[in-house]
């Protein structure tokens, strides 16, 4: 047991709970996601309830947690501080939306769905890693 | 067609919210999964283990679910191999450029009342809806 152990156990437990939420809600299912996005076709509004349920918890409880002097098992909170809306936020979100709209998979569900061992899901994850590395390489060269 | 399942959607959503609160309260970290994943690809000293622990949990849940419930994961893929690769590339690139995905900007960013995240969520939702329309109704894929 090192000083880091409780925080690691929390991160591990949070990952498990998060994945169960993705499975129960079927956010992990590309068919479900694409039917949510397909408002002109076989529309299934379920995912609005997933997002609604999640935000109904985080909205009040994040405010409560962030009023604590520090987290239970860490010295400080690591919360984004930026407030500006810039081209990268918009451009990145558009590009992400295109990928999400094609396959119906975003990063969390893709990682949990990897447990199925389905090769196209593993291929998606490898491509996702490549895309993230490409972005990092390109924008490090451009000067961040 | 998929069946409209608001109750299980809501329950799953609440679990996702609770997992995010647990993470922030316990470790001070945001459950932004593209960021947690991205940080493992370009590892920095002392900033790896919590990321690996969370991702391991995310996969383990998917492995345990069929064993405990006796039902397989509901993963019904909709597009062919090449589309999956293109989509993965765009999701990886876009989430890193835009600084977050459905979990980081959506669940956590809106939870923090961040205007940046609200703008990001509205943007990727519109982009995804338009893309799905093009792929399904114009290209017929």
pLDDT profile of chain B (141 residues), mean per 10: 93 98 97 96 93 98 96 95 97 97 94 95 98 92 63
Tokens of A45: 């509004």
**C-alpha distances out from residue B123 to A5, A51, A111, B45, B114, Å:** 38, 16, 23, 34, 14
Q: Which of B20, B38, B73 sits opposite A132 (nearest CB)?
A: B38
8 Å CB contact between B29 and A68: no
Strand stretches in B10-113, DSSP E: none
Q: Is the pLDDT of residue A2 over 80?
A: no
Residue A141 pLDDT level (bands cut at 50, 70, 90) = confident
Q: Is residue A79 scored above 70 in pLDDT?
A: yes
State the pLDDT at residue A144.
55
- Token match 């998917």: residue? B62
Asked if B33 and A107 count as a contact pair (C-beta separation under 8 A), the reply is yes
A 12-71: CB under 8 A from B: 12-32, 34-35, 37-42, 44-59, 61-62, 65-66, 68, 70-71
Q: Please report the ipTM that was assigned to this predicted complex.
A: 0.96
CA gap B31, B19 in Å, rounded: 8
Question: Does A5 touch chain B if contact means CB atoms closer than 8 Å?
Answer: no
CB contact under 8 Å between B29 and A38, yes or no, is: no
Among residues B24, B75, B47, B10, the alpha carbon closest in space to that of A71 is found at B24
CA–CA gap between residue A132 and residue B76 (Å, rounded) = 25
Closest-CA residue of B relative to A40 is: B133
Band (A4; pLDDT cuts 50, 70, 90): confident
* Predicted pLDDT of residue A1: 60
B42: its two tokens: 């370009």
Contacting residues of B for A131, CB less than 8 Å apart: 88-94, 96
């Amino acid at each position: 047991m090192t000083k880091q152990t409780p925080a690691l156990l929390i991160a591990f437990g949070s990952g498990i709970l998060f994945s169960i939420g993705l499975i129960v809600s079927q956010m992990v299912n590309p068919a479900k996601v694409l039917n949510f996005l397909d408002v002109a076709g076989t529309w299934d509004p379920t995912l609005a309830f997933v997002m609604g349920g999640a935000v109904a918890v985080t909205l009040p409880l994040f405010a409560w947690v962030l009023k604590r002097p520090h987290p239970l098992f860490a010295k400080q909170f690591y919360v984004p501080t930026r407030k500006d809306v810039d081209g990268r936020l918009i451009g990145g979100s558009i590009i992400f939306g295109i990928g999400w709209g094609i396959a119906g998979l975003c990063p969390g569900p893709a990682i949990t769905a990897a447990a199925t061992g389905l090769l196209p899901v593993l291929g998606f994850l490898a491509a996702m890693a490549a895309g993230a590395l490409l972005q990092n390489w390109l924008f490090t060269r451009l000067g961040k | 067609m998929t069946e409209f399942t608001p109750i299980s959607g809501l329950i799953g959503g609440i679990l996702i919210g609770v997992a995010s609160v647990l993470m922030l309260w316990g470790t001070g970290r945001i459950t932004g999964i593209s960021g947690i994943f991205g940080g493992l690809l370009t590892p920095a000293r002392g900033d790896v283990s919590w990321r690996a622990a969370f991702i391991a949990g995310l996969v383990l849940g998917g492995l345990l679910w069929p064993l405990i419930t006796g039902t397989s994961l509901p993963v019904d893929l909709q597009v062919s191999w090449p589309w999956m690769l293109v989509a993965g590339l765009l999701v990886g690139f876009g989430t890193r450029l835009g600084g977050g995905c459905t979990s980081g900007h959506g669940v956590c960013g809106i939870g923090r009342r961040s205007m940046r995240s609200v703008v990001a969520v509205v943007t990727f939702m519109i982009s995804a809806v338009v893309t799905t329309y093009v792929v399904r109704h114009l290209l017929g894929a």
